[in-house]
Copies of this chain bind each other. A is one copy, B any other.
Amino acid sequence: MNNFTYYNPTKMIFGKDTISQIGKQIKEQGINKVLLLYGKGSVIKNGVYDKVVESLKSSGVQHVDFSGVKPNPVLSTVKEAIKAMKDNSVEAILALGGGSVIDSAKAAAAGFYYEGDVWDLFERKAMVNKALPIFTVLTISATGSEMNSGGVITNEAENKKWSFGSPLLYPKVSIIDPTIQFTLPENQTVNGAVDTLSHVFELYFDGTRNTDMMDELSEGIIRTMMKHVKILLKDKENYESRCEFTWSSTLALNGMNGTGRVGDWSSHQIEHSLSAFYDISHGAGLAIVFPAWMKYVQHCHVEKFERFAERIFDIKEGSPEEKGIKAIEKLKEFYKEIGAPISLKEVEIPREDLNKLAENAALLSPIGSMKKLYKEDILKILELCYE
């Protein structure tokens, strides 16, 4: 196990009928005016917007609306939000949505106090020294952004989908009411499951050894998510399964699961290149990239893939290598079963683009900790994505 520092001060309020608490929570922090950030209006349809506005009003918190955050959120929106925040002298941001909205809120919260171009924070040209307080009401469980300090934004002018973070960006309070996700389209539930599993895989299959306790936690999240996403695809209003889904999704990337290990994150980097160029959802991209990456790096830690095979898919027969290979196949079967794509063919990304994609993903190369990957490795992994 590696040395680590763990710190996560987000207050998480979870369960049925909890959204009405948001106004009081914000007011308790001495905040009187917030930017209300959301996407393209699903929060109006599902009633979250009205509940939040009512709660803000009854607590005496003013709000300024800012809508239109897109999936795979872009830098230009962040900049517009920062302008709106300054123009209206808000004291905090309240994000209503999933990872796209919350990540945009984080970038805007940091950019609010930064005098240069907010993209500098992604290029590591500057650090976050101060940020507006962030509050969230989660409507799609996937990225874990509701309880961590990082985010991912696309600089659309430069085709860079990059991450950034700072301990100053933990949401002060996040609310998860799982019933809100009853009305999610099926593919968003699937993408959320794949995204969650991918976060766990990034942490579980890394270069670190001797991580028993965290491996147990990871395996628990994987089994819970795999079980309950299948229930939800048949019974989308199953409250208990929504609870298991949403909470395990948060736990996958709230820092705890990463304690004592470094994570790999090369599959995310490769996927970010896909969604920087194509209109493909992050979850779909990860479902394609991760099994290919696993095949490519399995030889680097055969015992870990064997453990994965035994503990997740109950595979007991065969050599350690064979078990790992079977487990990767089982994972692809699972993705197919829940309706996630498993090949770049399915999402119609042409082979002649692979070089460009590999180059993009390798901008910060080498990437990864299980195996350090350079452009030629990434190209081979992308080739495996056509199988």
A243 touches B1 (CB 8 A): yes
Distance of A144 from chain B, by nearest CB (Å): 14
Given the complex of chains A and B, what is the CA–CA distance between A2 and B1 in angstroms? 33
Q: Which residues of B contact A302 (CB under 8 A)?
A: none
Q: Which residues of B contact A216 (CB under 8 A)?
A: 216-217, 219-221, 223-224
Q: Which residues of B contact A1 (CB under 8 A)?
A: 15, 240, 243-244, 247
Is A12 close to B, CB under 8 A?
Answer: yes
B213 touches A221 (CB 8 A): yes
Total contacting residues, chain A, CB less than 8 A: 39
Given the complex of chains A and B, what is the CA–CA distance between A137 and B280 in angstroms? 48
B228 touches A220 (CB 8 A): no
A247 touches B223 (CB 8 A): no
Is A278 close to B, CB under 8 A?
Answer: no
B259 touches A256 (CB 8 A): no
Is A18 close to B, CB under 8 A?
Answer: yes
Distance of A16 from chain B, by nearest CB (Å): 6
Chain A residues numbered 10-25 whose CB sits less than 8 Å from any CB in chain B: 10-18
Is A158 close to B, CB under 8 A?
Answer: no
A5 touches B14 (CB 8 A): yes
- The contact string, 1 if C-beta is below 8 Å from chain B, for chain A 247-274, is 1100100001001100000000000000
Name A residues whose Cβ lies closer than 8 Å to a Cβ of B. 1-18, 210, 212-213, 216-217, 219-221, 223-224, 227-228, 240, 243-244, 247-248, 251, 256, 259-260
Jot down 9 A-B pairs with beta carbons below 8 A, ordered by A: A1-B240, A6-B12, A6-B14, A7-B11, A7-B12, A9-B9, A212-B244, A213-B220, A216-B224
